[in-house]
A = this chain, B = another copy of it.
Amino acid sequence: MIENIYIEPNQSNFKQICERPKKDPKGLSDVISDIFQNVKENGDQALIEFTERFDRIKLDVLEVSEIEIQEAIDQVDQELKNAISVAKKNIFTFHEAQVTAPLKVETMQGVQCMQKSVGIEKVGIYIPGGTAPLFSTVLMLAIPATIAGCKEIILCTPPNENGKVHPAILFTAHLCGIEKIYKVGGAQAIAAMTLGTETIASVYKVFGPGNQYVTAAKQYAQNFGVALDSPAGPSELLVYADETSKANYIAADLLSQAEHGTDSQVLLVANNAKIIDAVNEELIAQIAVLPRKEIALGALENSKSIVLQDECKAFEFINLYGPEHLIIASEEYSKYTDKIINAGSVFLGNYCPESAGDYASGTNHTLPTDGWAKSYSGVNVDSFCRKITFQEITKKGIKNIGDSIIKMAEGEALMAHANAVKIRLEKYKNVES
């Protein structure tokens, strides 16, 4: 159950209640810079050695072979294949709708401004290993990457102790058209995608979740000109409840978040204390039979329930927290929707569990955590694009706009900026064209 309960906390305490549990990242940066240095100097050999050390398997070949992919396709059971295909279709449909047409606006006669989305040429997807084979994250990253038109999409994921990648990950990657899959994990995978090795080509942006080493490595990659999807932290869920909520559904949703890791955080904000008590009862009952019970219990220790009867105060709190996932667990969810300013992805109504968005509804599950929802979007097609602007100015156009440019350039004391217009307007006397 959630033991930290705040009844009508004062607004001046909101910021403190919103604070996430923090880990001490000291010493991490030295580890990461050593790994990058080693990969830079020794390329594939460094990857093979790190894999032997961290994943306990000595590989001869880093790239997943076609035979391995075919074996994986054969191994995944048909029901799971069907489920993944349903999810793929939904995710594709929603993300394809996000594509924006090129924009063309004539701001003045003869002055055309354009904006065009262009896929990032080279992107890298990281899929963690560990206790759960996150094939769903393959869908969430590979689908928008292909829609965006990224030309090179590579995927890194650590091998298991037998030197294999989980078949569902390989099946899903293949289904999404990813051809280059490498058996390398951790910070060394990020280093490889950043710096390139004999086998793995460097990319311009890396995507995907991971432990604190992966997260720190993604941050460090920026020093080499490689972008990252978003600053990542532990996953989190905030549920807003009212009189129309169902305690058993809420408890199930909170546990679905809590089972991710002991560092996950779940928050329950309600307009009455009754629902909080009811959810706690349900939590006790439901957690008892959960395979990942210990993890969920650990996460619940970080968790909080907050009673705020006043709707405005409640959403002030929610927007200050800026949850990664926000469930509006109410039959009357539409009356709250407009109050939501800061959240990664929002789940509306009593029949909309977070796991729908985690897997199959169509929205992306790679979302901003740790309050970054205040300034970052979740991954979407734009995350794999740049919007390049173009301007096309005719002789007539520069006549129309030229004097304004000259005046402003002179106002900023940048005479060469003014000259670049003057010379085209033949107002430039120093040099004859």
A residues near B (Cβ < 8 Å) are 79-80, 82-84, 86-87, 89-90, 93-94, 97-98, 100, 103, 105, 107-108, 111, 113, 115, 118, 120-121, 131-136, 168, 204-205, 222, 225-227, 231, 246, 248-249, 251-253, 255-256, 258-260, 282, 285-286, 289-292, 296, 319, 333, 337, 340-364, 368, 370-378, 380, 382, 385-395, 397-398, 401, 403-405, 407-409, 411-421, 423-424, 428, 430-431, 433
Contacts and interface: CB of A to CB of B under 8 A. Distances in A.
Contacts of A132: 412-414
Most-contacted residue by chain B among A225, A231, A355, A430 (CB, 10 A): A355
A246 B424 CA distance: 10
**Copy total for this chain:** 2
A346 B391 contact: yes
A265 B87 CA distance: 48
Nearest to A86: B404
Contact of A431 (B83, B253, B282): B282
Contacts of A343: 388
B352 A407 contact: no
Contact of A111 (B346, B361, B380): B361
A407 B289 contact: no
B363 A408 contact: no
Nearest to A246: B433
A253 B433 contact: no
A433 B225 CA distance: 53
A351 B397 contact: yes
**9 tightest Cβ-Cβ pairs between the two chains A and B:** A227-B375, A83-B407, A107-B362, A353-B420, A90-B107, A83-B404, A352-B393, A355-B417, A363-B389
20 contacts: A83-B407, A115-B380, A131-B413, A133-B412, A134-B412, A135-B408, A136-B412, A227-B372, A255-B416, A256-B416, A286-B430, A292-B414, A292-B416, A345-B390, A352-B391, A357-B391, A374-B386, A377-B388, A378-B387, A382-B382
